[in-house]
Chain A
Amino acid sequence: MGQFILRRSLASLIVLFLASIMVFLGIRALPGDPALVLAGESPDAATIAAIREQFGLDAPLPVQYANYVAQTFQGNLGISTKDRIPVADILVERLPVTLELTSLAILVGLAIGVSAGIASAVRRGRSTDYVATGLGLFGLSVPHFWLGLIAILVFAVKLRVLPASGFVGLGEDPVENVRRMVLPALVLGTGLSAVIMRQTRSALLGQLSADYVRTARSKGLSRSREIRHGLRNSLTTVVTVLGLQLGALISGAVVTEQIFVIPGFGKLTVDAVLSRNYPVIQGAVLVTVTGYVVVNLLVDITYAYLNPRLRLSGASE
């Protein structure tokens, strides 16, 4: 297990290294002077000089990259061109918001997805199954942002039970925070639940027809025990799916934040692109990619822990 973790961590580090080069080169690929790009609109000469100095923009590219990495490790991600606030400070402020949203969405996705998946597998070929698989397919086909608009229309405009948009910090007013997070989390979690439902169903169906369950059944094991056995072995599938869906979840969070005007990471990134705030884009993309690679690594390790065959054979794919 130790060797597996070491090898996977090393691979993740290489990926991060190459990804950081891509982010670094991205800004340099823009037409024009990178110092001007990083300084924003109508900068004064002193600002440009300071940026040129800080990132060593006159040096050759490899030196610039080394400089960029060193600055990043010191927590210096540049200055937002919009409000002259350090990018790192903005990211630290926005990150918890997105983490709250995605955590709630994962809870929603797991709660709906796993239970619907079990119900559908256990009642295979009956009406419960058809309704669940039908809704699952629908959930896969509907874009998040439309679901979000419809949710606003129904719950905020027509029924007036929940606010249409906006955000209140968890520390400021926990009750209001949850009230405003319900719709976004439901919208983001629904898409996830559709995928989890389909995978749970097919994994559990596979387990229930496996030889060991058939043997157990012939020995007189009750149906509920049978399902419990199958479920335990389907757990790896759910973990894998969660890992695979992480990217979709991050992408979904970007859109959800935009619709519900939640000041998280995704809204920050999109707003930065629309206002050409390159230091913020660079910082946000780098942090998102880093987080994504790290969480994927954790998922892989969890997966290996749950599935000893993979760990022992030493295969990572």
Chain B
Amino acid sequence: MSNPFNPPTIAGAAEAGSPEAAVLEPARRWRRLRQRFLRRRMAIIGLAFVLLFLLLALMGPLVAGDPSEQHFDAVLQGPSFAHPMGTDDLGRDVFARIAGGARVSLLAGVCSTALAMLVGVPVGLVAGFYRGWVDPIIMRLNDVMLAFPFLIFAVGLAAILGASLRNVIIALAVAQFPAVLRIARGEALMLREQDFLAGAIADGTRDAAIIARYVLPNSLNALIVQATVAIPAAIIGEATLSFLGLGVQPPTPSWGVMLTHAQPYLAQAPLLALFPGLAIALVTLGFNLLGDGLRDVLDPRSGR
């Protein structure tokens, strides 16, 4: 309960899976979910923002040019036709750096979340499924990880491993891990008591097969919702660490690094601080809106 990856939902609220998931056939269920999703205008706006930044991250250098190229005749300039967002103190195109930063940001957000899920989901499912002596041990270890506020942990890790994008992703993944584990465990605990699982258990199906075939698919809704909360938190986390000088190192373009560079020029070139911040705000807002919509659709009982 220590970091931005633990959404402040009250314990248990996000741990409700939809029982209909086990009943409806996949194609019909998908169609129904899509219809429900498309009715939510804010969620679609969110999705549009996310796709926009994804496109920017993928096509960045093609559309915006080289983020490291210096134009010595154009230093600290305002927006113009040649440089739509102006140039920074080293004469680099701000738009190109925003596009490059999108790549770093999304990479950090998505990779750290994927890493946390890859480790946290199996551990959580096993803890919740078996309970017994496994569960308390895993939960105590989880408590220890929660004892480190996210940034303090990341700062400590940067002190030991050094500052780089890879280490930022590791720190962000570790920070997300407790929340992922808690959700996966809660899902497994709840699903264990369901009749269709009791049937499989009575059948003598192997435990690993039960977890893979029944428990995991039925936990996916809650995990997807968690991912949409975790990715924007990780994006802010990356920007924060890079802003402090403990993350992505210049000259790699990162929105956090751009803001560090912008601070001394606040009076001269305020736009330099505006664009990276707007980019962070829009991409996180996009994920948050998308997440709210997905939560309504996939996990209606968790509420807001």
Contact = CB atoms under 8 A, between A and B. Distances in A.
A144 B281 CA distance: 11
Nearest to A315: B11
CB-CB nearest 4 A-B residue pairs: A247-B2, A251-B151, A146-B277, A247-B149
Given A141-B281, A244-B6, A244-B8, A255 B152 contact: no
B266 A254 contact: no
Given A149-B259, A254-B244, A274-B245, A138 B8 contact: no
Contact of B156 (A198, A259, A281): A281
Nearest to B2: A247
Interface string A241-279: 101111110110011001100000010011011101010
B14 interface: no
Contact of A248 (B3, B274, B288): B3
B2 A292 contact: yes
A164 to B, nearest CB: 8
Interface in A226-251: 237, 240-241, 243-248, 250-251
A248 B8 CA distance: 11
Give the interface size class of chain B: 35 or more
A143 B152 contact: no
B17 interface: no
A296 B6 CA distance: 15
B57 to A, nearest CB: 18
Contacts of B152: 250-251, 254, 269, 285, 288-289
21 contacts: A15-B140, A15-B144, A137-B285, A137-B288, A138-B281, A146-B259, A149-B259, A157-B267, A243-B1, A244-B8, A246-B1, A246-B2, A247-B146, A248-B4, A248-B150, A250-B149, A251-B151, A255-B151, A255-B244, A274-B246, A317-B11
Interface of A: 11, 14-16, 18-19, 22-23, 26, 29-30, 137-138, 140-146, 149-150, 152-153, 157, 195, 198-199, 202, 206, 237, 240-241, 243-248, 250-251, 254-255, 258-259, 266, 269-270, 272-274, 276, 278, 281, 285, 288-289, 292-293, 296, 317
B150 A240 contact: no
A240 B10 contact: yes
Interface string B164-193: 000000000000000000000000000000
B236 interface: yes
Contact of B277 (A143, A258, A293): A143
Contact of B289 (A23, A137, A248, A269): A137
Contacts of A250: 149, 151-152
A285 B303 contact: no
